[in-house]
Amino acid sequence: MNNLPKMFEAFDDARRKGFVEVKKLKEDGKKVVGIYCAYSPSELIMAAGAVPIGLCGTSEESIPAAEKHLPRNLCPLIKSSYGFAITDTCPYFYFSDLLVGETTCDGKKKMYEYLGEIKPMHVMQLPQTNKGEHSFNLWKEEIRVLKDRLEKEFDVEITEEKLKEAIKSKNEERQILKEFYELGKLCPPPITGTEMFQVLYGSGFKLDKEAQKQYIRDIIEEVKKNIESNQQKVSKDTPRILITGCPIGGASEKVIKLIEENGGVVVCYENCSGAKPNDRLVDETIDPIDALTDKYLNIPCSVMSPNDERIDLLSRLIDEYKIDGVVEVILQACHTYSVESYRIKKFTNQEKNIPYLNIETDYSQSDIGQLKTRIAAFIEML
């Protein structure tokens, strides 16, 4: 019997169940560190004996409360994150002992000032370029400062041995996630983009990482069994879509659904839910602080200038996943991705010779009709 639907649902339900898990962790005396971005070095938090957990911020329900303090023409991710904090409706935020953020954009770093009035807040000063020794040393020092803060906050010592163990464990998690999402390279893909996203997004809310790793291994094995028995969900002629751009999840999953309801299939996520944070592992053969510095400084986000690494990653993914079209999702008022979209379109159209669609949206459902029309036309063209 095909067990995959229930297995995918388990990840889809992970956020709600995670609320119960994080409460139990606190009752057991564990420390929790809330994080907002892929630039947060989770290994340091793990080496401090604490649990890193992504905080709520992909829903429109908390935005009206946030707009009492924040401007309306601000990125919905920032407003949603802040709204959940001030309304105390995110259990992960409620149970966090410390918050860690980075100066990825102006909106976030100013919002963090307000969060610091609610919870202990540590902000890492992210260099705006990953080129050269100067930026490397700046980010290395920020990682050391975070290490000191964690040790002081939780009265622990982060030894080199603990850090190496955390790096090894996190690399294993990345490697298993990579093995899972690389199923999208197969033609036809053995799972839909919606199912792939259920696991990628839901894995951030599974706090027992050893159990998570095994569960994903089980899914991979089940998928392989379905391939062997010729159980195909997707036609080999279905247009293969890569999603790039801003982080998606929660309300912005509407884009995935519209692509797949209108004849396409998402086989690859380049953004923060997929390849961007997981493609590159931390080097386990060098000094752990140097290794973390190199790994996290080279995440190819649009906040970096220039952002050549994103082009390199996209180029490789387009080839490896046999992509027919690229859809870039940009949250309203996200200036770095909005500005960089011209470069991505030019690269996709001219160098890779495939179609590109730019979608600017927010967390509301008011643009569903417009998005459906545009996405349907794009896929029909493919």
pLDDT tens for 152-173 read 999 999 999 999 999 999 999 9
Q: How many domains does the chain have?
A: 1
- Asked whether residue 142 is domain-assigned, the answer is yes
- Asked whether residue 258 is domain-assigned, the answer is no
Place of tokens 């008011």: 366
Distance from CA of residue 364 to its chain's centroid?
A: 20
Q: Where are the beta strands (DSSP E) in the chain?
A: 31-35, 50-54, 98-102, 121-124, 240-245, 265-269, 325-331, 356-361
Span 237-265, average pLDDT: 95
- Asked whether residue 138 is domain-assigned, the answer is yes
| pLDDT value at 324 more than 90 | yes
pLDDT tens for 295-305 read 999 999 999 99
pLDDT at 273: 87
9: confidence class by pLDDT, cuts 50, 70, 90:
confident
- Asked whether residue 5 is domain-assigned, the answer is no
Dihedral of CA 124/130/135/137: which sign?
A: positive
Alpha-carbon distance of 183 to 190, in angstroms, equals: 7
Alpha-carbon distance of 79 to 280, in angstroms, equals: 30
pLDDT at 251: 82
Question: Residue 60 maps to which CATH number?
Answer: 3.40.50.11890
Alpha-carbon distance of 220 to 110, in angstroms, equals: 42
pLDDT, averaged across the chain: 95
pLDDT at 250: 85
pLDDT tens for 85-137 read 999 999 999 999 999 999 999 999 999 999 999 999 999 999 999 999 999 99
Identify the CA nearest to 220 among candidates 182, 246, 249: 182
Report the percentage of the chain scoring pLDDT > 90.
88
pLDDT at 350: 98
- Asked whether residue 57 is domain-assigned, the answer is yes
| pLDDT value at 230 more than 90 | no
pLDDT at 204: 82
- Asked whether residue 191 is domain-assigned, the answer is no
pLDDT tens for 181-223 read 999 999 999 999 999 999 999 888 888 899 999 999 999 999 9
- Asked whether residue 180 is domain-assigned, the answer is no
pLDDT at 5: 76
Q: Which domain holds residue 108?
A: 25-159
- Residues paired with 268 in a beta bridge: 242
pLDDT tens for 347-368 read 999 999 999 999 999 999 999 9
The backbone torsions φ and ψ at residue 18, rounded to the nearest 5 degrees and listed phi first, read -60, -30
Span 224-232, average pLDDT: 89
The backbone torsions φ and ψ at residue 232, rounded to the nearest 5 degrees and listed phi first, read -100, 130
Token pair, residue 216, equals: 């994903």
- Asked whether residue 105 is domain-assigned, the answer is yes
1: confidence class by pLDDT, cuts 50, 70, 90:
very low
Q: Are 57 and 98 in contact (CB under 8 A)?
A: no
pLDDT at 206: 82
pLDDT at 43: 98
Token pair, residue 272, equals: 């923060």
Of residues 146 and 1, more confidently modeled: 146
The DSSP output letter for 365 is S
Report the percentage of the chain scoring pLDDT > 70.
99
